[in-house]
Chain A
Amino acid sequence: MRSTGVNRRDVMKRAAAASLLTVPAVGALSSCASGGGSEDKTEKGTKSKKNPLGVKDNAPLTVYIFDGGYGDKYAQYVTDMYGKRYPEAKATQKKTTKISQQLQTKIIRGKPSADVINNSGADDMTPGTLVKNGQLADLDELLKAPSYDDPSTTVEESLVPGMREMGAFGTKGCYQLNLAVTVYGNWYSERLLNDELEMEYPETWDDMLAVCRKAKSKGIHGWSYPGGHPRYMLFSMYAMFAQVGGREVIEAMDYLEPNAWKHDAVKSVFEAFEELVAKKYVLTGFDGTEAHTEMQTAWTKGKCVFVPDGSWVENEAKDTTPKGFRMAVGATPSLDKGDALPFGTLYSPPGEPFLIPEKAQNVQGGMEWLRMMYSKDASRNFFNEVGSIPVLKGAIDGMKLPPGTESAQKAITAAGDNIVIPFFKEWYGQLFDEDFNGVMGKFMLGDMSVKQAMDTMQKACDRIVKDPDITKVKKA
């Protein structure tokens, strides 16, 4: 901590012991109310052509990887690369599913236990708050450094667009960098849709309803969603908001404008999905905390046609996916001819965030690790391990792609500039994780009307506007 007085520091140190407390609520908090900071950061090494970030070659490096759908083998490849390049540095990698629990308190105490953090999963840390408190390192230096494979282009130039924006959080810096391009949309099996139902992918909502009707006649549900995580519905609805009403609709959501969620475009998209529910096209009953896995298993078994999902699904569901399933993703259908953006508009942000704590022992090493992650070798290895599209441009050109990824690649190409990213989801996590989640939980069971859904979302939006504890991102 930069300007903390001695007294306060002493008070806080005493509180570190408070985690022994038995009353859980108060105890949990007090254990974090501990401060003081070490200033024993690793000195920088000397910068050179081979070492543009000035990494100290014997400084240890610790990397924490979220142990989710991607596993951690892809990262071990990068850590090994680092170990080979800097044999005197002790590069260690750890994995966890509880990023926040394992790391956040130590960051607050000013003694982060990790140099690079893969801040992902249901228990991720809220990056906006960390940025506001100056607890994350600005990665601008890395973006401007020469890329690993080609010194004539910078790291930033070698990656897909949107990287800097995703890490800005309303500042001029960049505090988070992502690894993979995620394609969200309506995922389906070409075998089921094209061969068994003998239909084409629906480009309009009327066609969508026709597919569902035909599926129902064969005893198959047109749709499903994970009832335990109903927020997945955004993956299929978001691009439609933009498609129907244009970019100003989704910008209003990002900047928490009054009546953002009461726009006519939002209304008509909700109404479209209400029809799916009313006609009982939706397969329900995946209710636990493992709901998404259960839903995906039912889907790969052919019990439903479309599911709202992201491109991680191909890897996550690979154990249950039968041969010849031909997984594919479709962009969201157009509602009618008056749509503002064409069919093919795609919800596809760079995802899987990495960050470096400001007080990390080895910030330069952390950036070097990320630079290596954005190398062609590591990107191709990442793709081989998890099947997701790396953010490094052209990394997987010429490789043989599995069906889902190939389809995702095609969707990105088809979308062109019509890529939409819900920043509100990054900036105001609770709006998505809690409020949208709660609304869709009721809406998809038919327990909430379109009007109620829009009102509840708007109310949540207004609540965040009024909340002094939430840092708002202003329109640039």
Chain B
Amino acid sequence: MSTEIRADERPPKEGESGSTGAQKPPGRLLFAAAVLLPPRFTPQRVRYDRRYRTLDKYRFIVGFLAIPLAFYGLFVISPFLQAIYYSFTDWSGGPVANFIGFDNYVKMWNDERFWDSTVTSVTLLVVAPVVTLVLGMFFAYMITAGGRHRKGQAVSGVAGSSLYKVVYFFPQVLSVAIIAVIWGRVFNTNSGLLNGSLDLVGIDGPAWLGGEYSWALIAMLTVLSWSFVGFYVVLFSAAMGSIPRDIYEAALLDGAGRSRTFFGVTLPLIWDTVRTGWIYMGIQALDSFAIVLVMMPKHVLKVTPVFLYERFQEGQYGYATSIGVVLLVLSVVFSLIIMRVGSRDRIEF
């Protein structure tokens, strides 16, 4: 818009920019009005002002952002703020919510049950992304670059790689509740698929969900990784697919094997995707609410969101929100750490 104006009719006094007192700069009020006016109705005095370009640019950006930002504020930010407010009250679902300062947080600090569940949640937060991402990356690498060299191509996937891509993605299509129910059956002590198979080879399988914390944790990690690994296979395959073939060719000419190629070429080039995936998976693991709620007997293993949910069911909404706020802080801290730890120079290609 502004370029058009300048092309048509240049201000007559353009050349005499050095002269003083030739034209009074337009007042602030006029500028404020100009925000809402289309250029053709804007007085020339304003339009030719140096600052008008900036105004025009930002007006353009704001025009596009205003509505989405309003929605974001309404549906994302404001509930967060309200949750934070409620975490300082003793609200139990009734008409009265008294402000009680940090009482809920003090109660949480002294609540052993909170710490027990949080230890589990943090363990999942740390371990699940590592397991899932390593698996996802391995599968993705085998699919895109792990095969034998054929038809003169520098890299190719293992045989049947396009089929694998689809198969890995299957769990993503299932609802979390169904995944939890199915795995609950698989882990069944007496008649589960897992212990049934172990039985065939003469091993007496453990009671996966029977009360032993470490078995339950392994079971949780298995289900989490199984259900999310497909997503990362697809994500990483896409990232790897965008790496130019000639880089691989160069590596090949230099005599690099599969693992050297992976660590020297592939991993550095998809690092940004890995970092994003890491944060996303961490938050998924920190949540893992539905799986635990549906699959785990209450006394065996509990994650913080389930502990929160139980307080919520008892009508301790103030306390439950304060646990929610702590979870929020945990996810933010986790994301910041990963951003910081994982930041490297970006490689352009």
B-binding residues in A (CB < 8 A): 1-4, 11, 14-15, 17-18, 20-21, 23-30, 32-33, 35, 100, 104, 107-108, 123, 125-126, 129-130, 132-135, 227-230, 284-291, 294, 429-430, 433-434, 437-438, 440-442, 445, 447, 463, 467-470
Given contacts A126-B313, A288-B184, A288-B185, contact A27 B79 (CB under 8 A): yes
The contact sample of 11 A-B pairs, CB cut-off 8 A, is A11-B82, A26-B79, A29-B320, A33-B82, A287-B211, A289-B297, A437-B298, A437-B299, A447-B211, A463-B111, A470-B316
Cβ contact of B82, chosen from A18, A126, A430, A469, cutoff 8 A: A18
Query: For the complex, is B207 an interface residue (Cβ under 8 Å from A)?
Result: yes
Interface residue? B285 (CB, 8 A):
no
Complex Cα distance, B120 from A243, in Å, reads 40
| Bound-state Cα–Cα, A288 to B295, Å | 7
Residues of B within 8 A of A440 (CB): 299
Assess the B209–A288 pair: CB atoms within 8 A: yes
B94 with A135: CB separation less than 8 A: yes
Binding site for A on B (CB under 8 A): 74-76, 78-80, 82-83, 86, 90-95, 103, 107, 111, 113, 184-185, 187-191, 207-211, 287, 289, 294-300, 304-305, 308-310, 312-321, 323-325, 327-328, 331
B92 in complex: contacting residue of A35, A125, A469, CB < 8 Å = A469
Contact, CB under 8 Å: A133 / B94: yes
A224 CB, nearest partner CB in chain B, Å: 12
Known: A108-B93, A288-B185, A441-B300. A25 touches B82 (CB 8 A): no
- State whether A132 touches B94 (Cβ < 8 A): yes
Q: Please, which residue of chain B has its CB at the minimum distance from the CB of A12?
A: B82
Bound complex: CA A276 to CA B210 (Å) = 19
Instruction: Tell me whether B324 and A29 are in contact (CB under 8 A).
Output: yes
Q: Which of A25, A30, A129, A294 contacts B323 (CB 8 A)?
A: A25
CA distance A25 to B330 in the complex (A): 12
Given contacts A132-B94, A285-B210, contact A26 B328 (CB under 8 A): yes
Q: Which A residues touch B319, using CB under 8 A?
A: 469
Name the A residues within 8 Å of B309 (CB-CB). 28
By a CB distance below 8 angstroms, the chain A residues around B95 are: 1-4, 35, 133
Residue of A nearest to B300 (CB): A441
Give A11 to B74 CA distance when docked, in angstroms. Answer: 11
CB closest chain-B residue, reference A287: B210
CB-based nearest A residue for B76: A21
B76, B188, B297: which contacts A229 (Cβ < 8 A)?
B297
- Chain A residues with CB under 8 A of B189: 227, 285-288
- Tell me the bound Cα distance from A21 to B107 in angstroms: 27
Are A291 and B297 closer than 8 Å at their CB atoms?
Answer: yes
In the complex the two chains form, is B289's CB within 8 Å of A26's CB?
no
Complexed CA–CA distance, A30 and B320 (Å):
11
Q: Which of B294, B297, B298, B312 contacts A29 (CB 8 A)?
A: B312
Pair A30/B82 contact, Cβ less than 8 Å: yes
Contacts of A288 in B (CB 8 A): 184-185, 187-189, 209, 295, 297
Which residues of A are found within 8 Å of B185, using beta-carbon distances?
A: 288
Q: Is A441 a contact of B299 with CB atoms below 8 Å?
A: yes
B75 contacts which chain A residues (CB < 8 A)? Answer: 17-18, 20-21
7 A-B pairs besides A23-B331, A133-B315 with CB distance below 8 A are A1-B95, A18-B78, A125-B313, A285-B207, A294-B190, A445-B210, A469-B318
**B314-A228 in contact (CB<8A):** no
- Which listed residue, A11, A26, A107, A129, touches B83 by the CB 8 Å rule? A26
Chain B residue numbers with a CB within 8 Å of A100 are 313
> CB-CB < 8 A to A32: which residues of B?
93, 312, 317
What are the 5 tightest A-B residue pairs by CB atom distance, in nearest-first order? A129-B315, A133-B94, A18-B79, A30-B79, A441-B299
Residues of A within 8 A of B187 (CB): 288
Q: Which residue of B lies closest to A298 (CB)?
A: B190
Question: What's the least CB distance linking B186 to chain A, in Å?
Answer: 10
Min CB distance B241 to A, Å, is 28
On whether A469 and B90 interact (CB within 8 A), knowing A29-B312, A287-B208, A434-B310, the answer reads yes
Contacts A26-B80, A33-B86, A126-B313; A133 near B209 (Cβ below 8 A): no
Minimum Cβ distance to chain A for residue B34 (Å): 33
Q: Are B325 and A26 in contact (CB under 8 A)?
A: yes
In the complex, the answer to whether A21 meets B299 with C-beta atoms within 8 Å is: no
Q: Which residues of A contact B321 (CB under 8 A)?
A: 26, 29, 33
- A429 near B211 with CB under 8 A, answer no
A29 touching B317 by the CB < 8 A rule?
Answer: yes
CB neighbours of B310 from chain A (8 A): 430, 434
What residues of chain A lie closer than 8 Å to B328, measured between beta carbons? 23, 25-26
Query: Which residue from chain B places its CB closest to the CB of A469 in the assembled complex?
Result: B316
